Structures are given as C-alpha cells and as structure tokens.
Amino acid sequence: MANATGKVYTLAILSLNDTYIKVGLPGGEAGNFIVQVNLKTTGDSIIINGSNQFTYVFSVASISP
C-alpha cells in the first residue's frame, strides 16, 4: 500500500484464496492509497479496473477518561 508521498506500507495477509485477499491495515496517515499485489513467483502486480485505490479516513467516535 502506498500513499501520494511515496510512503509504502507492507500489509499483513490475514486470509486469501484464488479470488480474495484479506489484509490488516497498519496505523498510519489518513489519505488516498493505492494497493499493489505482487505475485511471489513472477513479481507481476495485479490491478483490476482501478479497484486498487481507496481512501483511509481516521475518525474518533468518542473519548472517555
């Protein structure tokens, strides 16, 4: 996962199969990100119709003592 500043975050894979990858997002800056999946055997990246772009928003619902 990378943001506009070029900062790259490695994501932990929680589960996967032939059509689905579930990852854990690390804490970090809110913003627009691009996710790139590299195949270990070939090094090719997978991008499907812009589905690799998303916006991460940090919000606080409540604070208590």
Model confidence pLDDT, tens digit, residues 9-53: 788 889 988 788 888 877 777 888 887 777 677 656 666 666 678
State CA 14 to chain mean position distance. Answer: 12
Whether 62 shows a pLDDT value over 80: the answer reads yes
Query: Helix, strand or coil for residue 20?
Result: coil
Is residue 28 within 8 A of residue 9, CB to CB? The reply is: yes
Q: Tell me the pTM.
A: 0.54
Whether 63 shows a pLDDT value over 90: the answer reads yes
Q: How far is Cα 42 from Cα 5, in angstroms, rounded to an integer?
A: 27
